[in-house]
């Protein structure tokens, strides 16, 4: 085995498509995450469009009920795990090391592995369409709809295995970012000087490492029920389907914050920059984020008000859920106060950030309505909840991610996104979003249940369903405008320079796109919004040589050879082993469904890959004797 590892060692190329497979550069991995997530976003959107066509008018038969079940399951699973989470991960990867003044993440190969495992999980989930049918029990996969007795095909198997592989990817990535942020901050970058986006990455990563093991156990139990015939969720043997709901939502509610806290971090970066004012109440914003992270673990049963836990449990979870609105509200006031009196630079990024505040707030308010258990009895499983979740995840997460895209695209590619197309994208999105999802409040209060594939004309739901479908097509157009903007700006966009927005954080001190090693010398940080301080101080009193080591960037943002210790640049070498390990895990997953021999082969590949990984130095020691 060692000889095989020796023989295959070691990719050396930094260009060409193979170099993307073996890359361990956090910036390239971020780009891979982003590009893959956009493809899955389009797929999930397509699934939504098909559902909206089916529901546009009563009694339609565009798709069968069976296919409709698969569509809503895959739409939810895709958007949550394969679109929004990896879009967040794309920004974590690209930005966090730059923001904290580090050369890479703590474990570059583990980072590459996270991406490949994520891709593998996405493929397992989506290939299910071609391998006998996609999963069909909803993104929450309630027991015992998922039991073999009621769901004999392979759809649920793909769902379980896909989510397990995605869970491994998320955990690996969360471990990596926690260590990176705790341990790799530049000199002077204390925790309370960190950009809020880095803070929210840290909080989100902690939520992930505590929430994902719970869903892992739930999925293991379901997997054992399906593959080994155990009784976890088999009522005839005493198994309790409610156990699934508890385990799922102990993960599932924190998952909402995994989706929403990084966008809150984006907003906390965009607003100060485009208001030309520091973030209002930075410590409060940070502590609110931490508070949300903690409280997020104590509210899960608000998804279960109608299952009969009793008045005490319902009251407790109603109160905790209302309480979590407080730190969220605090953040919203801080964002508004940041803009208050600022000199607003109304670029597309700011428009999306303001749009985020409004639509996310509407989603938050309907969330507080759900938190009242008695009111929730009326809303449970209706389109009112569908409206709520889309205001939170589309009006919240995605709008913030769009803001982030307009803000950081120039850093990532070196070119600005087209401003006119951006404005068109913004206005189309904000109108279409409300046309699509606002009527769902009416439908829900009118009693239209979620997840039905059609309805009778006598129900009186025709009008608002048609309106929602028209809105969905407008949304599709707006997303296409965005993709068009991405593709054309990539080639023809205006050159950005290092610092197109007069940025505050360290990523704007380096060239766009940043060099492979990020910083030629390690920046020294003396304050929050350090780059602003640096530029500002220079403007007032230009001192020759001014700053110690963090450089304001006009001359390229760095001072080559400043530190003699760093006279040679030496980066972590590319490695194929992360892909090999991920491939082994994916093969093992397919083996569990088709043939145990394949699972054994996959497992052996993964173990061999891990062995090689352990023995392989992080970088090829060209000039050291290590």
Partner 1 sequence: MQQTWVGGHQVPHPETATGLDHRKVLMWVFLGSECMFFGSLIATYLVYAGRSVVGPFPKEILDIPVTSVSTFVLLTSSLMMVLALAAISRGDVRGFRVWLLATALMGATFLGFQVFEFNHFVHQGLTPRTNLFGTTFFTLTGFHGAHVTVGVVWLLSLVGLSFRKGHVTQENSLKVELAGLYWHFVDIVWIVIFTLVYLIGVTTG
Cβ closest to partner 1, residue 473 vs residue 611: 611
Asked if 231 is part of the footprint of partner 1 (rule: CB under 8 A), the reply reads yes
Which of partner 1, Cu ion, none does 253 bind, CB closer than 5 to 8 A by kind? Answer: Cu ion
278 burial (CB, 10 Å; 0-12 / 13-18 / 19+) is middle
Token pair 């704007």: residue: 508
Question: What whole-number distance in Å separates Cα of residue 205 and Cα of residue 178?
Answer: 6
Asked if 519 is part of the footprint of partner 1 (rule: CB under 8 A), the reply reads yes
Which of Cu ion, partner 1, none does 106 bind, CB closer than 5 to 8 A by kind? Answer: partner 1
Quick one: DSSP state of residue 455?
A: -
Question: What whole-number distance in Å separates Cα of residue 407 and Cα of residue 350?
Answer: 9
Size of the site for Cu ion (CB under 5 A): 1
Piece of the chain touching partner 1 by CB under 8 A; list 315-323, 438-446, 470-478, 515-523: 515-523
CA count, 13 A, side-chain hemisphere, 70 = 22
- Which residues in 132-171 contact partner 1 (CB under 8 A)? 171
Question: Which residues on adjacent β-strands are paired with residue 495?
Answer: 415
Helix, strand or coil, per DSSP, at residue 495: strand
Piece of the chain touching partner 1 by CB under 8 A; list 43-51, 310-318, 591-599, 613-621: 613-621
| Residue of the chain from 7, 237, 540, 544 that contacts partner 1 (CB under 8 A) | 237
Count of all residues that appear for the chain in the document: 626
Peptide bond into 4 cis (omega under 30): no
The binding track of 229-258 with respect to Cu ion, each residue x by CB under 5 A or -, is: ------------------------x-----
Cβ closest to Cu ion, residue 375 vs residue 619: 375
Which of partner 1, Cu ion, none does 570 bind, CB closer than 5 to 8 A by kind? Answer: partner 1
Cβ closest to partner 1, residue 181 vs residue 435: 181
Cβ closest to partner 1, residue 452 vs residue 516: 516
Question: What whole-number distance in Å separates Cα of residue 523 and Cα of residue 501?
Answer: 20
Distances (CA, A) of 381 to 182, 195, 360, 428, 507: 41, 39, 21, 29, 44
User: Minimal distance in Å, beta carbon 184 to partner 1?
Assistant: 6
The DSSP annotation for 528-542 comes to TTHHHHHHHHHHHS-
Cβ closest to Cu ion, residue 439 vs residue 444: 444
Asked if 12 is part of the footprint of partner 1 (rule: CB under 8 A), the reply reads no
The interaxial angle of helices 155-183 and 85-99, nearest 10 deg, is 10
Asked if 14 is part of the footprint of partner 1 (rule: CB under 8 A), the reply reads no
Cα angle, residue 352 at apex, residues 350 and 353 outer, rounded to 5°:
60
Piece of the chain touching partner 1 by CB under 8 A; list 41-49, 443-451, 567-575, 586-594: 567-575
Closest CA to 404 of 600, 522, 605, 269: 269
User: Minimal distance in Å, beta carbon 480 to Cu ion?
Assistant: 32
Asked if 75 is part of the footprint of Cu ion (rule: CB under 5 A), the reply reads no
Cβ closest to Cu ion, residue 158 vs residue 257: 257
| Residue of the chain from 27, 75, 109, 185 that contacts partner 1 (CB under 8 A) | 185
Asked if 388 is part of the footprint of Cu ion (rule: CB under 5 A), the reply reads no
- Which residues in 196-215 contact partner 1 (CB under 8 A)? 209-214
Cβ closest to partner 1, residue 181 vs residue 354: 181
Closest CA to 29 of 412, 479, 510: 412
Question: What whole-number distance in Å separates Cα of residue 139 and Cα of residue 605?
Answer: 31
Asked if 624 is part of the footprint of partner 1 (rule: CB under 8 A), the reply reads yes
User: Minimal distance in Å, beta carbon 263 to partner 1?
Assistant: 24
| Residue of the chain from 570, 599, 603, 604 that contacts partner 1 (CB under 8 A) | 570
Asked if 518 is part of the footprint of partner 1 (rule: CB under 8 A), the reply reads yes
How many helices and strands, by DSSP H and E, does the chain display?
20, 0
Q: Are 146 and 169 in contact (CB under 8 A)?
A: no
Question: What whole-number distance in Å separates Cα of residue 429 and Cα of residue 580?
Answer: 40
| Residue of the chain from 184, 284, 452, 598 that contacts partner 1 (CB under 8 A) | 184
Q: Are 157 and 205 in contact (CB under 8 A)?
A: no
Which of partner 1, Cu ion, none does 596 bind, CB closer than 5 to 8 A by kind? Answer: none
| Residue of the chain from 183, 346, 374, 527 that contacts partner 1 (CB under 8 A) | 183
Asked if 516 is part of the footprint of partner 1 (rule: CB under 8 A), the reply reads yes
Closest CA to 83 of 113, 115, 39, 114: 39
User: Minimal distance in Å, beta carbon 626 to partner 1?
Assistant: 4
The binding track of 241-280 with respect to partner 1, each residue x by CB under 8 A or -, is: --x---x--x------------------------------
List of residues 6+ apart from 287 with CB closer than 8 A? 327
Quick one: DSSP state of residue 553?
A: S
The binding track of 284-323 with respect to partner 1, each residue x by CB under 8 A or -, is: ----------------------------------------
User: Minimal distance in Å, beta carbon 569 to partner 1?
Assistant: 6
Cβ closest to partner 1, residue 250 vs residue 339: 250
User: Minimal distance in Å, beta carbon 32 to Cu ion?
Assistant: 31
Cβ closest to partner 1, residue 221 vs residue 376: 221
Q: Are 474 and 436 in contact (CB under 8 A)?
A: yes
Which of partner 1, Cu ion, none does 239 bind, CB closer than 5 to 8 A by kind? Answer: partner 1
Phi, psi angle pair for 102, to nearest 5°: -115, 160
Query: In three state form, how does the secondary structure of 263-301 look?
Result: HHHHHHHHHHHHHCCCCCCHHHHHHHHHHHHHHHHHCHH
Size of the site for partner 1 (CB under 8 A): 60
User: Minimal distance in Å, beta carbon 246 to partner 1?
Assistant: 8
List of residues 6+ apart from 255 with CB closer than 8 A? 80, 211
Torsion over CA: 126, 132, 134, 135 (sign): negative
- Positions in the binding site for partner 1 (CB under 8 A): 101-104, 106-108, 171, 175, 178-179, 182-185, 189, 209-214, 216-218, 220-221, 224, 228-232, 236-240, 243, 247, 250, 516-522, 565-566, 568-572, 617-619, 624, 626
- Positions in the binding site for Cu ion (CB under 5 A): 253
């Amino acid at each position: 085995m060692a000889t095989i590892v020796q023989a295959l060692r070691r990719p050396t190329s930094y260009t060409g498509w193979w170099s993307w497979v073996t890359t361990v550069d956090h910036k390239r991995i971020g780009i891979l995450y982003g590009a893959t997530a956009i493809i899955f976003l389009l797929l999930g959107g397509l699934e939504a469009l098909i559902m909206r066509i089916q529901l546009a008018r009563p009694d339609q038969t565009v798709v069968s009920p069976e296919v409709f079940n698969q569509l809503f399951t895959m739409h939810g699973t895709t958007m949550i795990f394969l679109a929004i989470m990896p879009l967040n991960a794309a920004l974590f990867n690209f930005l966090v090391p730059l923001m904290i003044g580090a050369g890479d993440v703590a474990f570059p190969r583990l980072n590459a592995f996270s991406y490949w495992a994520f891709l593998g999980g996405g493929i397992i989930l989506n290939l299910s369409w071609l391998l006998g049918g996609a999963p069909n029990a909803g993104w929450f996969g309630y027991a015992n709809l998922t039991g073999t007795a009621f769901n004999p095909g392979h759809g649920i198997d793909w769902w379980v295995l896909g989510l397990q592989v995605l869970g491994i990817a998320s955990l690996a990535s969360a471990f990596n970012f926690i260590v990176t942020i705790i341990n790799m901050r530049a000199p002077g970058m204390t925790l309370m000087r960190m950009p809020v986006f880095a803070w929210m990455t840290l909080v989100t990563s902690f939520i992930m490492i505590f929430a994902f093991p719970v869903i892992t156990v739930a999925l293991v139990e379901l997997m054992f029920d399906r593959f080994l015939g155990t009784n976890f969720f088999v009522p005839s043997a005493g198994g309790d389907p409610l156990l699934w709901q508890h385990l799922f939502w102990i993960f599932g509610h924190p998952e909402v914050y995994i989706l929403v806290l990084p966008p809150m971090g984006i907003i906390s970066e965009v607003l100060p920059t485009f208001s030309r004012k520091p973030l209002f109440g930075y410590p409060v914003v940070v502590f609110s984020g931490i508070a949300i992270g903690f409280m997020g673990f104590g509210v899960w049963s608000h998804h279960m008000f109608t299952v009969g836990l009793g008045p005490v449990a319902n009251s407790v979870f109603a109160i905790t859920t209302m309480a979590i609105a407080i730190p969220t509200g605090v953040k919203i006031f801080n964002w508004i106060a940041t803009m208050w009196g600022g000199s607003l630079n109304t670029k597309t990024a700011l428009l999306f950030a303001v749009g985020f505040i409004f639509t996310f707030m509407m989603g938050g308010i309907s969330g507080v309505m759900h938190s009242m258990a008695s009111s929730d009895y009326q809303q449970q499983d209706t389109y009112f909840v569908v409206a709520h979740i889309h205001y939170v995840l589309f009006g919240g997460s995605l709008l913030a991610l769009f803001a982030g895209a307009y803000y950081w695209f120039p850093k990532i590619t070196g070119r600005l996104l087209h401003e006119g197309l951006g404005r068109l994208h913004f206005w189309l999105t904000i109108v279409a979003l409300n046309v699509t999802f606002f009527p769902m409040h009416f439908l829900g209060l009118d009693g239209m249940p979620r997840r039905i594939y059609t309805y009778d004309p006598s129900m009186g739901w025709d009008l608002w369903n048609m309106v929602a479908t028209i809105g969905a097509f407008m949304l599709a157009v707006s997303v296409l405008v965005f993709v068009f903007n991405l593709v054309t700006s990539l080639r023809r966009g205006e050159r950005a320079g290092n610092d197109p927005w007069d940025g505050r954080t360290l990523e704007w001190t380096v060239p766009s796109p940043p060099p492979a090693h990020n910083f030629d010398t390690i920046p020294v940080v003396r304050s929050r919004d350090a780059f602003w301080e640096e530029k500002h101080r220079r403007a007032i009193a230009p001192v020759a040589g001014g700053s110690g080591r963090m450089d304001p960037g006009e001359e390229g943002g760095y001072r080559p050879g400043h530190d003699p210790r760093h006279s040679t640049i030496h980066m972590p070498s590319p490695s194929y082993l992360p892909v090999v390990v991920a491939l082994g895990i994916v093969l093992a997953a397919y083996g569990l469904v088709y043939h145990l021999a394949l699972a054994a082969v996959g497992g052996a590949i993964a173990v061999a890959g891990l062995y090689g990984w352990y023995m392989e130095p992080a970088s090829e020691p060209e000039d050291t004797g290590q």
